[in-house]
Amino acid sequence: MATELARLGVRARAAVKSISTSSSAARDQALLAAADLLVAGSATLLRANRADLDRARANDLGAAALDRLALDEGRIESMAAGLRGVATLADPVGEVVDGWVRPNGLRVQRVRVPLGVVGIIYENRPNVTSDAAGLCLKSGNVAFLRGSSSALESNRAVVAILREALVKAGLAADGVLLVEDTSHETALEFMRLRGVIDCLIPRAGRQLIELLLEHGTVPYVLDGDGNCHVYVDRSADLEMATDIVLNAKTQRPGVCNAAETLLVHRDVARRFLPAVARALDGVELRGDPEVCAILPGTTPATDDDFATEFLGPCLSVAVVDDIAAAIAHIDRYGSGHSEAIVTGDVGAADTFVREVDAAAVLVNASTRFVDGGELGLGAEVGISTQKLHARGPMGVRELTCTKWVVRGEGQVRQ
Amino acid sequence: MATELARLGVRARAAVKSISTSSSAARDQALLAAADLLVAGSATLLRANRADLDRARANDLGAAALDRLALDEGRIESMAAGLRGVATLADPVGEVVDGWVRPNGLRVQRVRVPLGVVGIIYENRPNVTSDAAGLCLKSGNVAFLRGSSSALESNRAVVAILREALVKAGLAADGVLLVEDTSHETALEFMRLRGVIDCLIPRAGRQLIELLLEHGTVPYVLDGDGNCHVYVDRSADLEMATDIVLNAKTQRPGVCNAAETLLVHRDVARRFLPAVARALDGVELRGDPEVCAILPGTTPATDDDFATEFLGPCLSVAVVDDIAAAIAHIDRYGSGHSEAIVTGDVGAADTFVREVDAAAVLVNASTRFVDGGELGLGAEVGISTQKLHARGPMGVRELTCTKWVVRGEGQVRQ
């Protein structure tokens, strides 16, 4: 007997043709209708959200988690604005990526097409429901969503609105589907729906990623950790370096593109470290022996500190002999997310850009810019830390694949 | 204690910087040197190959497998020519895929970079050793090869030559590494070398793919089966259709882009089927009831026949009511490899191209063209039947990923 999830999977596949072959206009119409319906239905949404919040408080959810879960009129307006923004993006579907004519006259093109069914596992922010579904719809994909139990009522209400908008635009309601069973067993079953899910994006904790690596069979794109570094070269403008370190560490410390380690060239360490320590007031520094010698009273850093994504007001700091040592440190401890150099030396900049193996390398700019919106993708569905398919911020284009289209006049192979 | 394979993995990672940051000229020099050394060392190669062949015969390997395993002067020349051909391809590394300037002045680029370590598991054709290693090297990757036990001596000899060529070009010898332990346990360990292998391409049977899906943790690109269809539309030029079906089925039946099923529009079935059956002399047809009525004596096709990649002189045949029924049949039985329509109707061609979900769709051309060389990629490392990362024939570009490069003058995020 098919499980409830398997039945949902059949519905998702059945909706693929309606969504993937729909016109750009119909998909945009659905996005705009969903935005209007979210605002118009805010009373219903807030009621559902209140039920989730009451349950969450009864379950002693922490303050940060409660904040992420909570909706208000402003947040609903933001969700609607997000959908309207996605509607204004260029449609990635149908783009001819490249093409040529073969000597035998065959006309060859690679054309961008939707993936089909995109599965997303996420945690308790209800706005992810509309954000993710909007990006899937824009790119011609069915959104198969599995949110957290804490946000179930809110997610149901958002999904009901999205489905209503799809129908208004003449598209299959099943273009957006919510998995309401949030058990661990169902998460496992979800990541084994090979043939149903064309791409799974887990926006969730490390435990779920481990489960996916060990037991998942569907294709996936990992949105991993960011242990990001800022390297201050000997030739750096030290004021610029202070601004960048301060921004990278403190502008929003709880996110993956925040800096976790500062590396300083030996030649400027005595001048730079006291200045940056003053600027980083309120941030705990954990230093290697040389840092501790220059900044007495600094907590000594352990090897673990350099490997840790603090996601809070803590920064590990090391002095390095040269750019090669900085790159070697990043090779060893980095997670391949975002790595920055501050330098005035064009050779150092080029070496860093060439040799650091990460989704994004930045020269004289804050790591905080590694974000789909900031880099110009309009919106992002996540930041990939893997190399295959997509790397770094993923926009609507990363929710597509290509299809070879070959046209001839009867050619056969010799 | 680290296993032998884990030690090889450490060596592969250690070679990444040498290969990935090498100049295009050095990599091409190594490819050309390897070509020369293969020809110059053919006596040694043939001696090693003879040892493999003797062992294979003692193990009662079949004639087809023996043929795949066997080298001769001509095949060695072909291997060398392959490497020379790869050397002439454009270097994918360093290509600026796209780029723009943000309103705040940040200059953003996405630049093509090597993956790092590419793992390839393959069967007993020793030419794959040089072909695959050549494509990895061209694209700046370390080739981590795991061939079959039957070809071990041949592969050792080829790899020794490739390593010598690397050193001649000033590159790390460990840019090509061969796993000599060909046990099942080592295959399993290989596909779990997460952090060592950046991309695994299994060019092997279904059993190994199943093992990879269930137990693998490294990123991979699947080179899957091809259950390919030719659909002959009511508006088709029936002579062209006969030529295409004949070519797609018989030009080389044992490969993944050969046709396995013929679908014929009802309106032309009575005219077309007898003609194509005559042309397909020596091919066993398995037909649905309508085909059997038109071609008395045809073996009735089972549901399994339509799902089977025969890889031999057998073709399942069905009559369909219209193009929608043809697409529905392909949706149900196709493996997403290569699907062709023969038609004179532009609307039917467009519908087929838009609605058929496959790596390649062809209009009025044989499915046999879905191949890296035929489509203009110069050479191929495989044909991906997955949607993520690469779809269809994979050339050197598909052995790369991108890196975001962001350059500023001290910008911080507001």
Question: CA–CA separation, B166 vs B271, rounded Å?
Answer: 60
Q: Domain end: A207, A223, A239, which one?
A: A223
pLDDT in tens, chain B (414 residues): 579 999 999 999 999 999 999 999 999 999 999 999 999 999 999 999 999 999 999 999 899 889 999 999 999 999 999 999 999 999 999 999 999 999 999 999 999 999 999 999 998 889 999 999 999 999 999 999 999 999 999 999 999 999 999 999 999 999 999 999 999 999 999 999 999 999 999 987 888 899 999 999 999 999 888 999 999 999 999 999 999 999 999 999 999 999 999 999 999 999 999 999 999 999 999 999 999 999 999 999 999 999 999 999 999 999 999 999 999 999 999 999 999 999 999 999 999 999 999 999 999 999 999 999 999 998 899 999 999 999 999 999 999 999 999 999 999 999
Tallying the residues shown for chain A, one arrives at 414
Write out residues 67-126 of A within 8 Å (CB-CB) of B: 100, 102, 106, 108, 113, 115-116
Domain that holds residue A353: 228-374
Q: Which residue has the tokens 């899906």?
A: B213
**One domain for residues B170 and B107:** yes
CA-wise closest residue to A89 among A390, A371, A396, A382? A396
Verify that A183 and A242 share a domain, yes or no: no
Q: What would the two tokens of residue A230 be? A: 């800022």
Query: Whole-angstrom Cα distance, residue B91 to residue B339?
Result: 31
- Please state whether beta strands B107-114 and B96-101 pair in parallel, antiparallel, or not at all (unpaired): antiparallel
pLDDT of residue B224: 84
> CA-CA distance, B332 to B28, in Å (whole number)?
45
Which residues in chain A have Cβ-Cβ distances shorter than 8 Å to B20?
357
Least Cα distance to B287 among B250, B266, B262, B323 occurs for B262
Across the interface, whether the CB atoms of B401 and A388 are under 8 A apart is answered yes
For residue A155, what is the domain's CATH number?
A: 3.40.605.10
The reply to whether residue B115 touches residue A387, judged by beta carbons under 8 angstroms, is: yes
Q: Tell me if B410 and A353 make a contact (CB, 8 A cut-off).
A: no
CB contact under 8 A, A413 and B366: yes
CA atoms within 13 A on the CB side of B71: 33
**Closest CB from B21, B365, B376 relative to A408:** B365
Q: Are A364 and B410 an interchain contact pair (Cβ–Cβ within 8 Å)?
A: yes
Average pLDDT over residues A372-381: 92
Sign of CA dihedral A47, A52, A54, A57: negative
Q: What is the pLDDT of residue A223?
A: 87
Partner-chain contact A108 B375, CB within 8 Å:
yes
What per-residue confidence (pLDDT) applies to A145?
98
Residues B176 and B281 in one domain: no
Check whether residue A367 and residue A256 sit in a common domain. yes
Write out the two tokens for B397: 């570009």
Nearest to A352 by CA among A325, A370, A384, A315: A325
State how far residue B331 is from chain A, nearest Cα, in angstroms: 11
Burial class (CB in 10 A: 0-12, 13-18, 19+), A356: buried
The ipTM of this complex is 0.95
> Roughly what angle, to the nearest 10 degrees, separates helices B126-138 and B152-168?
30
On whether both A217 and A249 belong to a single domain, the answer is no
B386 found inside a domain? no
Residues 6+ apart with CB under 8 A from A403: A110, A111, A113, B357, B358, B359, B360, B361, B391, B392
pLDDT averaged over every residue in chain A: 96
- The span from the CA of A214 to the CA of A208, in Å, is 10
**Pairs of residues, one from chain A and one from chain B, whose beta carbons lie less than 8 Å apart:** 202
- Rounded mean pLDDT, A160-171: 98
> What percentage of chain A reaches a pLDDT higher than 70?
100
Give dist(CA B307, CA B305) in Å, integer.
5
Chain B positions touching A251 (Cβ under 8 A) are 412-413
Q: Which of A208, A213, A214, A270 minimizes the C-alpha distance to A238?
A: A270
Residues 6 or more apart whose Cβ sits within 8 Å of residue B303? none
- Candidate from B20, B116, B247 with C-beta closest to A413: B247
Q: Which helix (H) or strand (E) holds A43?
A: helix A42-58
Say if residue A315 is in the same domain as residue A192.
Answer: no
Residue A404 half-sphere exposure, CB side, CA atoms within 13 Å? 33
Same domain, B135 and B185: yes
Alpha carbon distance A80, A89 (integer Å): 15
> What are the angstrom distances between the C-alpha of B93 and each of A23, B396, B408?
36, 9, 23
Query: Are A410 and B194 inside 8 Å of each other by CB?
Result: no
A1 pLDDT more than 70: no
From the number of C-beta atoms within 10 Å of its C-beta (0-12, 13-18, 19+), residue A186 rates as middle
Q: Does the distance separating the beta carbons of B357 and A407 come in below 8 Å?
A: no
Same domain for B339 and B193 = no
CB contact under 8 A, A369 and B106: yes
**Residue B383 falls inside a structural domain:** no
Is A219 domain-assigned?
yes
Residues of chain A contacting B247 with CB distance shorter than 8 Å: 412-413
Q: Is there a contact between A92 and A397 (Cβ–Cβ < 8 Å)?
A: yes
Say whether A116 and B237 touch across the interface (CB within 8 A): no
Longest dimension (CA), chain A: 79
Q: Which of residues 318-377 of B touch A (CB under 8 A)?
A: 349, 353-355, 357-366, 368-370, 374-376
Cα of A210 to nearest chain B Cα, Å: 10
Distance from CA of A199 to the nearest CA of B (A): 8
Surface of A (242-271) touching B: CB under 8 A? 243-244, 246-248, 251
> What Å distances lie between residue B382 and A250, A289, B391, CA to CA?
46, 51, 10
Residue among A198, A49, A176 nearest A124 (CA): A49
Distance in angstroms (rounded) separating the CA atoms of residues A98 and B375: 12
> In chain B, what residues touch A406 (CB-CB under 8 Å)?
360-363, 365, 369-370, 375
Considering only the beta carbons, identify the residue of B116, B389, B404 that sits closest to A360: B404
- Closest residue in B to A194 (Cα) is B213
pLDDT value, residue A124: 83
Using DSSP, state whether A50 is helix, strand or coil.
helix
Sheet of strand A117-122, all strands in order from the earlier edge strand to the far edge: A176-178, A142-146, A117-122, A199-203
Of the three residues A223, A253, A272, the one that is the final residue of a domain is A223
Give the pLDDT confidence score for residue B1 in this predicted structure.
56
pLDDT in tens, A299-347: 999 999 999 999 999 999 999 999 999 999 999 999 999 999 999 999 9
Residues 172-211 (A) with a CB less than 8 A from some CB of B: 194, 198-199
- Is position B2 within any domain? no
Residues A182/A207, Cβ–Cβ less than 8 Å:
no
Residue A395 placed within a domain: no
Q: If you search the block for the tokens 């998909």, which residue do you land on? A: A27
- A117 φ/ψ angles, rounded to the nearest 5 degrees: -110, 120
pLDDT in tens, A227-286: 999 999 999 999 999 999 999 999 999 999 999 999 999 999 999 999 999 999 999 999
- Facing A412 at nearest CB: one of B244, B357, B408: B244
Torsions phi, psi for A316 (to 5 deg):
-90, 145
The secondary element (H helix, E strand) that includes residue B244 is helix B238-250
How far is B229 from B257, CA to CA, in rounded Å?
A: 10
Statement to judge: residues A181 and A297 lie in one domain = no
Q: Which two tokens stand for residue A360?
A: 């994004």
Kindly report the backbone phi and psi dihedral angles of residue B390, in degrees, each rounded to the nearest multiple of 5, phi listed first. Answer: -145, 145
Chain B residue with minimal CA distance to A245?
B412
Q: B74 to chain A, minimum CA–CA distance in Å?
A: 20
Place of tokens 């109707």: B345
Q: What is the mean pLDDT of residues A158-172?
A: 98
**Which of B198, B387, B403 has the CB atom closest to A359's CB atom?**
B403
Give me Rg for the CA atoms of chain A. 24
A199-203 and A117-122 as β-strands: parallel, antiparallel, unpaired? parallel
Across the interface, of A199, A355, A404, the residue whose CB is closest to B360 is A404
Given an 8 Å threshold on Cβ–Cβ distance, is A407 in contact with B240? no
Determine how many CB atoms are found less than 10 A away from the CB of residue B188.
15
The alpha carbons of chain B give a radius of gyration, in whole angstroms, of 24
Which of B199, B364, B393 lies closest to A410 in CB terms? Answer: B364
Evaluate whether A231 touches A207 at the Cβ level (below 8 Å): no
Same domain, B201 and B58: yes
Nearest to B355 among A21, A246, A386 (CB): A21
A190 part of a folded domain: yes
Q: Identify whether residues A204 and A237 lie together within a single domain.
A: no
Q: Is B413 on the interface with A (CB under 8 A)?
A: yes
- A127 by Cβ neighbours in 10 Å (0-12 / 13-18 / 19+) ranks as middle
To test the contact with chain A by mutation, choose from B200, B404, B409, B414 the residue with the greatest count of A C-beta atoms within 10 A, namely B404
3-state secondary structure of B334: coil
Residue A350 lies in a domain: yes
Chain A residue nearest residue B198, CA to CA: A387
B375:A406 CB<8 A: yes
Q: Is B24 on the interface with A (CB under 8 A)?
A: no
Q: Are residues B104 and B155 in the same domain?
A: yes
- How many Å apart are CA B399 and CA B144, to the nearest integer? 13
Task: Report which DSSP code applies to A175.
Answer: G
- Residue A48: inside a domain, yes or no? yes
> How many alpha carbons lie under 13 Å from residue B120 in its C-beta half-sphere?
29
Per CB-CB distance under 8 Å, the chain A contacts of B251 are: 412-413
- Torsion sign, CA atoms A345, A351, A353, A356: negative
* Residue contact B408–A246, C-beta within 8 A: no
Phi, psi of A60 (to 5 degrees): 60, 40
* Number of domains, chain B: 2
Is A216 in a helix, a strand, or coil? coil
DSSP string computed for A48-108: HHHHHHHHHHHTT--HHHHHHH---HHHHHHHHHHHHHHHHSPP-TT-EEEEEE-TTS-EE
Which CATH number fits the domain that encloses residue A252? 3.40.309.10
Query: Which residues from chain B sit within 8 angstroms of residue A370, using beta carbons?
Result: 404, 406
Among A116, A374, A388, beta carbon nearest to B413 = A374
Look up residue A192 and give its two tokens: 């084994």
Amino acid at A119: G
Instruction: Tell the residue number behind the tokens 């040269």, with chain if given.
Output: A322
CB contact under 8 A, A365 and B410: yes
Residues counted in chain B: 414
Q: Which residues of chain A are within 8 Å of residue B357 when distances are taken between CB atoms?
A: 16, 20, 113, 116, 403
Parallel, antiparallel or unpaired: strands B259-265 and B360-365: unpaired
Q: Which two tokens stand for residue B80?
A: 């060398």
Residue at B83: amino acid letter: L
Instruction: Tell how strand A314-320 and strand A284-287 pair up.
Output: parallel
Nearest-by-Cβ selection for B410 from A240, A359, A387: A240
How far does A157 lie from chain B, in Å, by closest CA? 32
- Please list every residue in chain B whose beta carbon sits closer than 8 Å to the beta carbon of residue A237: 410
Among B170, B151, B358, smallest CA distance to B257 is for: B358
Give every CB contact of residue B239 below 8 A, 6+ residues apart in sequence: none
Measure the CA–CA gap between B235 and B150, rounded to whole angstroms: 50
Last residue of one domain, picked from the residues A170, A201, A223:
A223
Are the C-beta atoms of A300 and A355 separated by less than 8 Å?
no
Number of neighbours of residue B327 by Cβ within 10 angstroms:
24
| Out of A115, A116, A403, closest to residue B361 by CB | A403
Q: Does residue A2 surpass a pLDDT of 80?
A: no
d(CA A352, CA A355): 5
